[in-house]
């Protein structure tokens, strides 16, 4: 049975804006990369949180939101996709302190997956049809897929 895990973050809304409007929202946090291949979505298994997640992570100094999404996608899944399309902003709240943040969400449809190498954060990747029983998935990530 699939289950969702809350890792201290609550989904609030998905905001449809243009990429140019990202900086009208504060604070802009790390980016997500949503990849569709063969009609399924790419997920990676986070070994620290023991759950399936969308590739995502924090921005490095001087990095644009899109560059962040491209880098995190590659680091976590081995997929090099540079033609990501901006889809909107995830608005979420930290449950411990109520802090609001905005995460840019990017999307691409690709033909095939490149080989994956296990790394310190990700032990495996998969293409998910949103129905197959996979176990635990991040509760915020699953909501993002409703808007892509």
CA 43 to chain centroid: 9
36 contacts: CB under 8 Å, gap ≥ 6 = 42, 107, 108, 109, 110, 148
Encode pLDDT of 78-120 as tens digits: 999 999 999 999 999 999 999 999 999 999 999 999 999 999 9
Return the higher-pLDDT residue of 14 and 2.
14
Q: Which superfamily, per CATH, for 3-147?
A: Nucleoside Triphosphate Pyrophosphohydrolase (3.90.79.10)
CA 64 to chain centroid: 16
Residues in the chain: 148
Asked whether residue 38 carries a pLDDT value surpassing 70, the answer given is yes
Global pTM reads 0.95
Encode pLDDT of 116-139 as tens digits: 999 999 999 999 999 999 999 999
């Amino acid at each position: 049975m699939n289950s969702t895990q809350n890792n201290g973050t609550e989904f609030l809304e998905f905001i449809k804006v243009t990429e140019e409007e990202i900086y009208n929202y504060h604070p802009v946090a790390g980016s997500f990369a949503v990849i569709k291949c063969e009609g399924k979505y790419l997920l990676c298994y986070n070994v620290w949180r023991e759950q399936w997640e969308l590739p995502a992570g924090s921005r490095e100094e001087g990095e644009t939101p899109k560059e962040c999404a491209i880098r995190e996608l590659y680091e976590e899944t081995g997929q090099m996709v540079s033609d990501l399309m901006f889809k909107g902003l995830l608005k979420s709240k930290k449950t411990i302190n109520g802090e609001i943040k905005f995460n840019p969400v990017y999307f691409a449809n690709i033909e095939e997956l490149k080989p994956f190498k296990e790394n310190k954060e990700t032990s495996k990747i998969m293409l998910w049809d949103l129905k197959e029983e996979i176990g635990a998935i991040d509760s915020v990530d699953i909501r993002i897929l409703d808007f892509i």
